Amino acid sequence: MKRFFVLLGIAVVILCQMSCSSDEEQAQLNNPAIIDGIDGSIAAPIFGEIELESMYVDEVRTLATKTPIQVITAIEGTSKIIVEAEFRRVQNSRFGFPLYECVLTDEAVTAMGGLAQGMSGSPVGTAGRVFGALAYGDAWAKAPHRFWVTPIDAMEATLYHTTFGEFLAPPAPGAPGAVVNSTYSAVKTPITISGIGNDRLQQLSSHLADSKFNNVEFFSRIGGAPAAPPANASPNLSAGDMIGVALVTGDIVNSTGFGTVTQVYGDKFVAFGHDMFRDGLASLPVYRAVVDGIVPSTQIAYKSASAYGNPIGTVTKDLRPGIVGELGKLPPMINVNVSYLPVNSRQPITTHHKVAYGQEWAIPIVAASTLDAIKMEVNAGTIEANVAVSFKETDNVYTESFRSIASDPFEAVLVNMDFIVQSFTNILANGAGKATIDEINISIADLPFILHTEITDIHVIGEVKQGEEATFVLEMLPHWSATGQSRKMYREVKLQIPEHFVPGAAEISIAAATEYGFNPFGNPFAPSPENLDQLIGRLRDLQYDKGLVLVTLATLEEEEEPEELSIEGFFESFFEEFFMNLFENLPIPGEGELPPENGELPPEDDELPPEDGEILPEDGEIIEVIDEEEMMEEMVPTPRPIPITGTALIINRFIVTGTTGAKLEILPIVVDEAPEEGDDIPEDLVE
C-alpha cells in the first residue's frame, strides 16, 4: 500500500508540472507557424485585416532612441506576423523627405537572414500605428540589421501628386564609370520572370543594364500565370498584405514584382516605400500574393512569392516614396501574339501574352523567350520574322520584316525587336507623335541553314552597245549549308543601255546593299515626320531587303598624265596667275572715267542706233533672208550624253554581302543611213 501512494504522488507531481507550464511553451507546442530559431521564435500569425493609425514626422521626432516598434510583414502564406525592432533616429536624406533609422531586434527573423527583398513596403510603427514603410537596408550587412523607413507623410503625398501625365519618362542614363561604394541599398522589389532559362540570365542582364532598374532585382523561376486563390485568402486588402505587380502575363513569360502594402485609404493604397521604375504615371495590374518562404542569398535574402486570383486593382503612380494603387480599377494592356514555326514542324505554334503599358521594353523579351522556350536546341541558323504593330492613334498598321543570321537566334530576335519597339515608344527617338501600341503580332520562322552568300564575280555576256539590252551573270559563293551539288550561285542580270550612253571604256559594278547599311533608294533629305502616320511612312522608306544587290554601269574618264614642270614653266605659270589676281583686284573706275574702247569716242546722240537694234539697209544693199524652220531645227539641243545607269535585283531569302566589278567597252549605236534621192535602191529591198 505504501508503494502505491508513492507512485500516486509522483504521478500527481508530473501532472502539476505539465499543467503549470508557461503559455510560451504551450504556444511552441501548438503553433505551427513558430520556427525553431536559435535564440527565439516568430510570433503567431495574424489573420484578418489590420487597421493602423498614421503617425507623422513631427510626432516621430519626439520618439526616444531605442523605442520598441513593430514591422508587419508576411513570412509564409498570406498571414502576417509582427517583427520586433527599435527606433533609432530621424535622418535627412537626398530624397526631399527624411528617413527613419531603425534596427531589427527580432532574433528569430535575424536567424532566418534578417531583411529580405519583398519586405519593402512593410508598415513600421509603434503598436497599432504606422509611421512609414520599410524601404532601405544595410548593404552586405550582418546582425544587427539596420534599415531605413520612408515616412508615411511622403507616401500619402503621392496620393495627390500630379505626374507628367502620359509624357512617360525615357530610360534613365547609365551609372557613372567611377566606383562609388554605398553603405546602404534599397530593399529591392524582387521581380520574378518565368519562361526564361538560367542560361539566358547573363544576356538578359546585359540587355536590361540601365539605372531604370536600380530598385528592382530579377529572378528567373519556374511558374506561370497567377493561380487560384488559397482557401484562407481574404478578399480585402490591408496593411502588411503581400501584393504582386504584373509586368507581363501569358502562356510562356510571366513577370511580377512583389512587395508589401503600407497603408490603405478606402479604394486607394500606398506600398513598397520606394519606387519600382520611377516612371511617374503607371498602369500596372495588381494581384494578391502568397509568400512561399524566405530564400537566402549572398547579399540579401528575398521573399519567394506567387500572385494568385484575378487582378484587384491598378498601380497608377510609381514615385520615389512608393507606389500608389487604386482598387477595383483594371488597366488595359498590350496584346503580344507570337507565332513561331520550328524547324521540325509544319504548323506554327502561337502564344499569347499581355504586357503592361510603360513596360514596352518587355515585348522583345517575350518574343525572344517564346522562341527560346519552344526551340529544342540552340544552333546557328537563319531567322525570318514579320512584325505588325497596330496603334490606338491611327488605323495605319506598321509592318516590318527582318532576316538575321546568328549563332544564337535568341539574341538576334531580342535586338531586332527592341529596335522596332523603341522606334515608337522611346520618346527621344519618336518626335513625330504619340504612339500607343494596341497590339503587336510577330511571326518567326526558324531555318536550319545559313542563308548567306557573298558576291565574287560578274561576267559580261556578248557585246554591250548603246540602245540595246546587255546581259551579265552574277557569280556568288553561298554558305555550304545552303548550297546543293554546285558550290556556286548564279543570277542573270539584264540591263538596258540608254541610246545616248557615253560610248567607250566603262565599268560594271556590283554591290550588296548590306555594304551600305541603309536603303540606297531612300531619300536622305526627306523632311522630318510631323505625325504618327508620317513616321510610319518614313520608317517604311528606310527598310530594305538584305538580299538587295545594286548594279551600276558608269563610264571611265581618261586620266591625263601629269606633265613634268620645268623651272621656266613654273615661273611662267606663277607670274601668269600673279598678274591675273592683280588685275582682278584693281579698283573699278567711277562713272565717266572709262576710257574709250579701241580708241573710239562714243557716238553722238543723233548717231545712236535704233532701240530695236536693227540698222536700216542702205540703198542698193542686198539683204539675206533667213529660213526660220531651218534655224529652229539647228536650235534643237542634242541629247545630253548619259554617263551612268543601273538596276537592282533581290536574291530571295539570302543575306548578300560583298562587291565586285569588271571593265568593258560600250560600243556606239549602229545608225542605218537613209538613201538620198536619186540613189539606186536594190531590188531585193523593194516590196
Nearest one of 15, 14, 12, 44 to 27, comparing CA atoms: 44
Say if residue 190 is in the same domain as residue 328. Answer: yes
* 434 plus 475 within the same structural domain: no
State pLDDT tens for residues 502-547: 999 999 999 999 999 888 888 878 888 999 999 999 999 999 999 9
Mean pLDDT score, 474-485: 89
Residue type, 357: Y
Query: What pLDDT is recorded for position 167?
Result: 45
Is 633 contained in some domain?
Answer: no
**Residue 191 shares a structural domain with residue 281:** yes
Domain ends where: 332, 349, 375?
Answer: 332
Q: What is the pLDDT of residue 223?
A: 72
Last residue of a domain, one of 389, 421, 447: 447
Whether residue 124 is contained in a domain is answered as: yes
Full-model pTM: 0.72
Catalogue the E-assigned strands of 174-327. 184-186, 189-194, 216-221, 242-250, 254-265, 268-271, 280-295, 301-319, 322-327
**pLDDT tens, residue by residue, 575-623:** 566 556 655 555 555 555 555 555 555 555 555 555 555 555 565 555 5
267 and 236, same domain (yes or no): yes
Of 299, 332, 365, which residue is a domain's last? Answer: 332
Let me know if residue 621 belongs to a domain: no
Whole-angstrom CA distances from 206 to 178, 380, 412, 420 are 19, 21, 14, 19
In a domain, 340, yes or no: yes
Residue 341 belongs to what domain range?
334-447
Q: Would you say residue 104 has pLDDT above 60?
A: yes
Q: Is residue 146 part of a domain?
A: yes
258 falls within a domain: yes
pLDDT in tens, 122-156: 999 999 999 999 988 876 556 678 898 999 999 99
Q: Tens of pLDDT along 237-278?
A: 999 999 999 999 999 999 999 999 999 999 999 999 988 888
CATH code assigned at 114: 2.40.10.10
Average pLDDT over the chain reads 80
Grid cell, residue 607, equals: 548717231
Query: Residue 23: what are its φ and ψ, rounded to 5°?
Result: -65, -35
Number of domains in the chain: 4
Is the four-CA dihedral 411, 412, 417, 422 of positive or negative sign?
positive
In a domain, 319, yes or no: yes
Query: Are 260 and 375 within one domain?
Result: no
| Whether residues 142 and 47 fall in one domain | yes
Cell matching residue 317: 503612380
Q: What is the pLDDT of residues 1-20, one digit of tens each?
A: 555 554 555 555 444 554 44
Q: Measure the CA–CA gap between 137 and 468, rounded to whole angstroms.
A: 81
pLDDT of 344 reads 76
252 and 273 inside one domain: yes
CATH of the domain at 362: 3.30.1490
For residue 365, tell me if it sits in a domain.
Answer: yes
- Whether residues 239 and 323 fall in one domain: yes
Calculate the CA dihedral of residues 27, 28, 32, 37 and round it to 10 degrees.
140
Same domain flag for 144 and 106: yes
Encoded amino acid at 31, one letter: N
Do 255 and 151 fall into the same domain? Answer: no
Helices 409-425 and 362-374: crossing angle, nearest 10°?
A: 160
Contact 101, 89 (CB under 8 A): yes
75 and 117 assigned to the same domain: yes
Both 305 and 399 in one domain: the answer is no
